[in-house]
Amino acid sequence: MVAPQEELGQRIENALRLVIDPELGLNIVDLGLVYVIGVNDCGRARILMTTTTRGCPASSFLKDGAREAAIAVPGVTSAEVSLTYDPAWTPEMMTASARVQLGFGPDNDT
């Protein structure tokens, strides 16, 4: 049986798939930008994520989009999104499908 917080975390992850990076055209989950999704007993969500570069012009857009997507999930009472650059994002963090869509072969890091 899945714990309620774990199930809510999975629903938040699914909602975050609706947040599309405007430059790359893929969702932030498949891009590997979401590092941690935590939910407490009161439905408070905490999301730790990154952007592809430290100076990404879409940082606020992505952070706000993640918060809005999370708060829209039934059972979430509030959502806090924090950006981190440790570890720094790399293409290896993307799903295999995302790497292929962006022209990175499954075994090609170029």
Structural domains counted in the chain: 1
22 lies in a domain? yes
Give pLDDT, residue 5: 81
Give pLDDT, residue 110: 46
Give pLDDT, residue 4: 76
* Domain of 50, in residue numbers: 4-100
110 lies in a domain? no
Query: For 27-78, how does the pLDDT look when each residue is reduced to its tens digit (9 = 90+)?
Result: 999 999 999 999 999 999 999 999 999 999 999 999 999 999 999 999 999 9
Mean per-residue pLDDT of the chain: 93
56 lies in a domain? yes
Total Cβ atoms within 10 A of residue 76? 20
Helices (H), the chain: 4-16, 59-71, 96-101
Give the DSSP letter of residue 91: G
Check: pTM over 0.85? Answer yes or no. yes
79 lies in a domain? yes
CATH number at residue 71: 3.30.300.130
